[in-house]
Amino acid sequence: MSADVSYVVPARRCLPGRRADTSLVPVLLLLVFVAGCAGSPLPQAAPVATPTENPAVEAETRLWYQASTAFSDGRYSAAIHLYERYLTTYPKSRRAMEAHWDLGQSYDQMGEVTAAVKEYRLLAGPEGAPASTQNVYAERARHRIEALRNQPALPAGARSGHTALYVSFSNLPPMSQVESWVRQLSAQGISAILMDASLESSFTRPLVPTGPPTSSPLPNLPAGALFATSQGPVLTDWYGVMVPQAHELGLSVYAVLDLYHAPLSDHRPESKMLLYDPTRRKVHPWSQFDLLAPPVQQQMAQLLADLLKSGVDGVVFRSRAENSFAYEVSDGVLRQFETQVHQPSSEVAQALRDRMVLRPNEEVPASDKTLWRWVGWKARQELDTLARLKKYLQKVVPRLRMVLEIHPEALSNPTSALMNYGEDAAEARRRGFDLLLGGASREASDVRSFGGAFKGWSRDVIQSEKGEPQTLPQGWVLLRTPAEHGGGMFTGLAQQADELRTPDIRHLVFVPDAPVVIP
């Protein structure tokens, strides 16, 4: 089998008659840390089926027409949701084999090779079965599996991907208008909606000032989730309203969640990080949850499990808003570092102090090695935690897309991104995360340069498992939607996305500069 199987979006094959087209920190340890500083070196809507006398037959026919129309129109993301819904609802339908074939073809076109092969194998049946017992779908499925095994590279013309619209909580339409609003988005070519899962997760929250961290920069926002959960307060179950309406028309819904400021009812000080101030040699309360604390991880897992119950198609983990990664400490993190790295936390504090007073063009102090050991270790620990959450969620929903936001700095200046935000883009992709180029939303002209930065990463960091083609992590980019679009701001986004999409940057997320107005 070719080693490059997973990088293929195959050429379209069709059946005859068909169109081609995811404890407050114990004082002792922290006193050691601080004392070390002080004293020591420290498209249009799908057509509705013609009514029949049998309501059940009418419902099945309507759903089939919606799925097949999305497939024929090349709206493969929508087709995936509709065909999956059809097969779940009508598993014994006479159209089931055709639905599995078209579902596999839709995954094929989206570059989801593992999912496509799974559908083809359902059709191909057991190996060695007599040809006389197999149908045309089984034969074509076997050919397609073989082609995926031997096709070496992603065709340059592959242009499938999401045209997504980010919708902040403040820009959601009235609940009574959700259905018509989603229908109009679909008609404009939008294939995915990204929604805040809590107000703290918003892409439009105020920018965080740079410089030495002193206090939490987040404004006082109403606390609570926008989905039903047992882990914290709920403002309004928006996902319970939005997801079914979006899926009805084949749109995906991605939840945007900031785990560092998650909507949990956990107010225990030991669940939060502290911020170390090297200039004053003190630690201060900080707003972020400690993702390395096992009790916090358990609560996060349950919070995300509740989110999955809403039926979301993917989860976007927000990046750190604060550039304070190196200075974030807690009793648990310091204990783990001392145990695993065998280095006193007082030396970390000294390294942070040395960095704070370092002048331009001054020789790097010897403690710099300690500092990089600290940020590198902590970044890997956090990424391992996120990877475990990813594995847990995808065990429940195998086709769930997991997207990790990173600052563009993670590509242009990886060492700075690691120090300031704890980000390692290559390691994140190696663990199977999609990467969203976040921070301030980009101009359209930036997309191809980002695509170039992604180019070649796939073969370097994605490995085959047991000889099977793997789903390739993909690139997403936030794009600014100019305010002058006004009420017609959605018009032309799909066409613009098709022009900008690259094989490495498939998914474009448009972030409106102005409040959303239904066109």
Domains of the chain, first to last: 5-21+44-150 (1.25.40.10), 163-206+227-512 (3.20.20.80)
For tokens 């956990």, name the residue.
Answer: 266
Task: Give CA–CA dist 464/483, Å, rounded.
Answer: 44
Cα separation, 349 vs 151, in Å, equals 53
The closest alpha carbon to 406, from 394, 416, 398, belongs to 416
Q: Rounded to whole angstroms, what are the CA distances from 165 to 30, 130, 190, 236?
A: 45, 49, 7, 21
CB 500 within 8 A of CB 161: no
CA 337 to centroid of chain Cα atoms = 29
Separation CA 141–CA 471 (nearest Å): 18
**Count of beta carbons in the 10 Å neighbourhood of residue 222:** 10
Q: Which pLDDT score, from 0 to 100, does residue 30 have?
A: 56
Q: How far is CA 93 from the centre of its chain?
A: 34
Is 437 within 8 Å of 406 (Cβ atoms)?
yes
Please, which residues bridge with residue 194 across strands? 166, 254
The answer to whether the CB of 181 falls within 8 A of the CB of 45 is no
Question: What is the distance between the alpha carbons of residues 433 and 435, in angstroms, rounded to a whole number?
Answer: 6
**Sequence-ordered strand ranges (E) for 428-504:** 434-442, 475-481
Tell me how far apart the terminal alpha carbons of the chain are, to the nearest angstrom.
50
Give DSSP secondary structure letters for 156-168. Answer: TT-----EEEEE-
pTM of the model: 0.77
Please name the residue that has the structure tokens 């990204």.
194
- In sequence order, what are the residues at sequence separation of 6 or more whose Cβ sits closer than 8 angstroms to the Cβ of residue 41? 346, 347, 350, 367
Neighbours of 215 (CB within 10 A): 10
State how far the Cα of 55 lies from the Cα of 46, in Å rounded to an integer.
19
3-state DSSP call for residue 257?
strand
Render each residue's pLDDT in the chain as its tens digit; 519 residues.
Answer: 333 333 233 333 333 333 333 333 344 445 456 555 544 443 343 444 444 457 878 889 889 988 888 887 778 888 898 999 999 999 999 999 999 999 998 888 777 788 888 899 999 887 655 544 457 788 888 888 887 776 544 443 344 788 999 988 888 889 999 999 998 888 888 889 999 999 888 887 654 444 444 444 445 556 799 999 999 999 999 999 999 999 888 888 999 999 999 999 998 999 999 999 999 999 999 989 999 999 999 999 999 999 999 999 899 999 998 899 999 999 999 999 999 999 999 999 999 999 887 767 677 777 889 999 999 999 999 999 999 999 999 888 877 889 999 998 888 889 999 999 999 998 998 888 999 988 777 777 778 777 777 665 545 555 444 444 445 678 899 988 765 544 444 677 888 888 888 777 889 999 887 554 433
The pLDDT value recorded for residue 20 is 36
Asked whether 65 and 47 are in contact (CB, 8 A), the reply is: yes
Q: What is the pLDDT of residue 235?
A: 93
Q: Contact, 315 vs 255, CB < 8 A?
A: yes
Do 508 and 476 meet the contact criterion of CB atoms below 8 Å apart? yes
- What would the two tokens of residue 119 be? 């559908």
Tokens at 142, concatenated: 């076997």
CA dihedral 233→236→237→239, nearest 10 degrees, is -120
